[in-house]
Amino acid sequence: MRAAATREQFSGISTCISQERIGNGIGDSLRSDRRKRFFTPRDVQLTDSRLYLTIDAHLSFFSPNRHSHIMDEQASLQHDSSTSPRIIAVMPAYNAAATLEKTLADIPEGTVQEVILVDDCSTDNTVELARSLGLTVIEHKQNRGYGGNQKTCYAEAMSREVDVVVMIHPDYQYDSRVIPLAAQIIHLGICDCVLGSRIRSRAEALAGGMPRYKYIANRILTTFENIGMGQNLGDFHSGFRAYSREVLETIPYERNSEDFVFDSQFLVQVVHFGFRLGDIPVPVRYFDEASSINLSRSIKYGLQTLLAVFNYWTAKLGIYTPRYLKAPQQDKD
C-alpha cells in the first residue's frame, strides 16, 4: 500500500519517525512486532507547505524478505545527509561565566556545527571563558539589551551555511539536550519555529522553582496570545527557541525592540508572516545564577506583549501595520 499524506493526516506517524531517528540515532532499528503490521518510511519529501510521506505497509508474518528489507531501509537512512540538519546554536550572554560551561556540556556531541556567543558588555569573565571553550565570540562595544543581543546572534548565524538556528540562554536554566529534537522537527518540515515549553504541568513548573507570580503571569499572557493569534503553545515566553533559515531570512527582526519584548514581537511576526509554531517540553532550573528580570520590568514586558498582539490584529484588519510587521519589499519608509 502506498499513500501520499498531508502533515495533518500523518502527524502521529511523522512525529514517531522523527523521535525514532533522534532519540536512538539515525539508522537505528525501526522496531516492529513480528506478527503485527508495521510501517517503514520509504521516502520523505519536504516541499513548501506539505510533508509527503510515502509509506509501505507490510504484514511481517508473510514477508520472507523482511529482515533484508529493513536493513536496506536503515542503510538508506544512514547515508541520507538530508536527515542531519546543519545547526548553529546562538547564546545571547551577559555575565554568564558561572553557568556557561554547564550549558555547553549538555549539548549532545556532534549535533551542533558551531556555537556563537554574543556578549553584551559582561563585567565577569564570560568572554575569556567562552573563547577558552572554543566558541565563536562576538563582543558588543556597548550594552544593547536583550533584543539587540539577539539581533547580532541571528545576523552572525545567517552569515554561515545553516539550516536551523537554536537560541538558548547560557544561564543553564534550559536543558540544552533537546536541541537536536527541536532542530529535527523543523528539518522534517513539521514546524518552522519550535519553542521549549517550561510548563508541561503546573506542579512541575512550580517544583522546578518558577516563582508563583511568574507562573500566573505566564499563564495569563500565554492564554491571551494563543487566543489572539490562533495558536496552541504551552509557553509563549521561553528562552529556548529554534528557527528555520527561512524564518530568519523572511522576518525583519532587526526592526524589533532592543529590549525583552523582542521575543514577543518575533513570535507575532512568525504568525503574521504565515509560519508554523510548535513547542516541546523542556526541563528548566531556577536558581540564583539563572537570568531573570525584576517585577517592574516584568510588568513593562507584559504590557508591551499585549500591545504586540494588538498590533497583530490592527495589521490583520488593515487598520494599522507597524513597521516590524511590514515585509521589507512593502516598507517604503
Distance of CA 62 to the CA centre of its chain: 42
C-alpha cell belonging to residue 258: 532592543
Question: What is the spatial distance between Cα 227 and Cα 235, in angstroms, rounded to a whole number?
Answer: 13
Any domain includes 5:
no
Q: Are 53 and 94 within one domain?
A: no
Degrees, nearest 5: CA angle 277-279-284: 140
For residue 50, pLDDT beyond 70: no
For residue 275, is it left (φ>0), alpha (ψ between -120 and 50) or beta? Answer: beta
Over residues 10-28, mean pLDDT: 37
Query: Does 171 share its domain with 129?
Result: yes
pLDDT at 285: 83
- pLDDT value at 96 more than 80: yes
Highest mean pLDDT range out of 130-144, 274-288, 292-306? 130-144
- Give yes or no for residue 31 having a pLDDT over 60: no
Do residue 29 and residue 149 come from a single domain? Answer: no
Q: Does pLDDT of 251 surpass 80?
A: yes
Same domain assignment for residues 35 and 181 = no
CA distances in angstroms from 312 to 192, 234, 264, 266, listed in the order given: 19, 20, 11, 11
Average pLDDT, the chain: 80
* Element (DSSP H or E) covering residue 229: helix 212-229
The per-residue pLDDT for 157 is 98
Contact 28, 207 (CB under 8 A): no
Q: Which regions of 87-212 does DSSP assign to beta strands (E)?
A: 87-93, 114-119, 136-139, 164-168, 193-197
Q: Is 283 found in the same domain as 207?
A: yes
**Whether residues 91 and 59 fall in one domain:** no
Task: Tell me what pLDDT residue 129 has.
Answer: 98
Of 56 and 273, the structure prediction assigns the larger pLDDT to: 273
Q: Look at residue 262 and tell me whether its pLDDT is greater than 70.
A: yes
Asked if residue 75 has pLDDT above 50, the reply is no
Do residue 33 and residue 167 come from a single domain? no
- pLDDT, tens digit, 9 for 90 and up, residues 313-326: 999 999 999 999 99
- Domain edge (last residue) among 55, 83, 111: 83
Compute the average pLDDT of residues 7-31: 37
* 92, 79: one domain: no
3-state secondary structure of 289: coil
Q: How many domains, in total, are found in the chain?
A: 2
310: enclosing H helix or E strand: helix 295-316
**Per-residue model confidence as pLDDT tens digits over 195-220:** 999 888 888 878 877 888 889 999 99
Over residues 54-81, the mean pLDDT reads: 38
Q: Are residues 248 and 162 both part of a single domain?
A: yes
Number of helical H runs and strand E runs in the chain: 11, 9
**Confidence band for 59, pLDDT divided at 50, 70 and 90:** very low
> Where in the sequence is the domain holding 273, given as residue range(s)?
87-323
- Of the three residues 27, 49, 83, the one that is the final residue of a domain is 83
Give domain status of residue 3, yes or no: no
5 pLDDT more than 60? no
Please report, rounded to a whole number, the percentage of residues in the chain having pLDDT higher than 70.
72
More confidently predicted of 224 and 59: 224
Given a cut of 50, whether residue 122 has pLDDT beyond it is yes
CATH of the domain at 180: 3.90.550.10
